[in-house]
Amino acid sequence: MVQERAAFPTFSQEPIRLIDPDGRWVAPFPHGLSAQELRRFYRDMLAARLLDEKLVVLVRTGKTSFIAPHAGHEAAQVGIAHALQRGHDWLFPYYRDLGLVLAMGVPLPEIFGQTLGNAADPAKGRQMPSHPGSRSLNIFTVCSAIASHIPPAVGAAISMKLRRTGQVAVCTFGDGATSEGDWHAGVNFAAVQRAPVVFVCENNRYAISVNIAQQTASENIAIKAKAYGIPGYHVDGLDVLASYSVVRYAVERARAGEGPSLVELVVHRFGPHSSADDDTRYKSKEELSAERRQDPLLRYQRFLEREGLWDAQWANELRLEIAKELEAALQEAQAAGEPDPLQMFDDVFAARPWHLEEQRRLLAEELEA
């Protein structure tokens, strides 16, 4: 059984919060993390923010065709990453999870290669940008079709249960996914089968331009778990330690054989839905300004200051260090060049059938000519 002391309230009206907006620790228990661990959360959040800024530059300079900005989601995504057993558990992310996969350990050159669609991309340029995956880290490749990754996450979790591997599947998605039939079917089946899966909604309140009030009459996303007979946790996703602690509790609960949970992390999306979106058409300047004032990085910075773990010199040096890593990784990815067109015939069949061999031969001749 999961330790009772670590339990969090289900279906709370107010979001679960461990650090208040002024950076004060408000939980009735100690955080139990070392100074090194606490600083690592900040580093990962800052790296995610700087990665987002770098991706904006790439799309605006025409080096990539699409991004899904994740600024504002950093606390939620870094919290999720630290709650998993990396390389053991499975992650089924969605297209806004670049900060999450970075914190999970996906190398920066791979992230940039995937963004550029070149030879540095493990998917060999055959997937649209902002759709990463990692075979070595058990990260399922992102799919554009909203909520379509939820049934596969449940199927994988049931396999883990039947094979008794001790693994857990964590599946992330936005609030818009909860309006899809795949979401209902997946969560319902997982609940019935008591699958070791944790569903994590990064609720930024907008499915592109559709406000959550136009999607659901429920008071929040977490309460939807009641219909499936599983726990639902309503969490302040701008609080990195609350995000980490609740997701970790849900993961260990699933690992102990107690079935799935739904965790709602309430966040803000500072940028547009994607590089093809103009969020100023449906969000007022006042709303955008109010969201920026609740920056999760600033909240966590205030907490670290209170703990004696943050100062401007350290933060500036860290920013420069990360910026250099990002630039070096981008240069490495760009140097990889374009993917080999003949690779389009790879990775589909264990042995290529005759008609694909013939097509590959014809293409090779054309390229040589």
Instruction: Pinpoint the alpha helices (H) of 230-350.
Output: 240-255, 285-292, 296-306, 312-335
Eight-state DSSP code of residue 25: B
For 301, phi then psi, to 5°, come to -60, -45
The owner of tokens 């289900």 is 10
Which of 282, 306, 352, 360 is an active site residue? 282
CB burial class (10 A; 0-12, 13-18, 19+) of residue 130?
Answer: buried
The owner of tokens 């990002």 is 326
For 264, phi then psi, to 5°, come to -105, 120
Distance between CA 74 and CA 241 in Å, rounded? 12
| Whether 282 is catalytic | yes
Distance between CA 172 and CA 76 in Å, rounded? 10
Eight-state DSSP code of residue 258: -
CA Rg, the chain, in Å? 21
CA 13 from centre of chain: 24
Tokens of 261: 């949970």
Distance between CA 202 and CA 125 in Å, rounded? 27
Distance between CA 71 and CA 296 in Å, rounded? 9
Which of 234, 269, 299, 300 is an active site residue? 269
Which of 49, 82, 273, 299 is an active site residue? 273
Distance between CA 325 and CA 106 in Å, rounded? 14
Count of Cβ atoms closer than 10 Å to residue 62 Cβ: 7
| Whether 273 is catalytic | yes
List the catalytic residues. 269, 273, 282
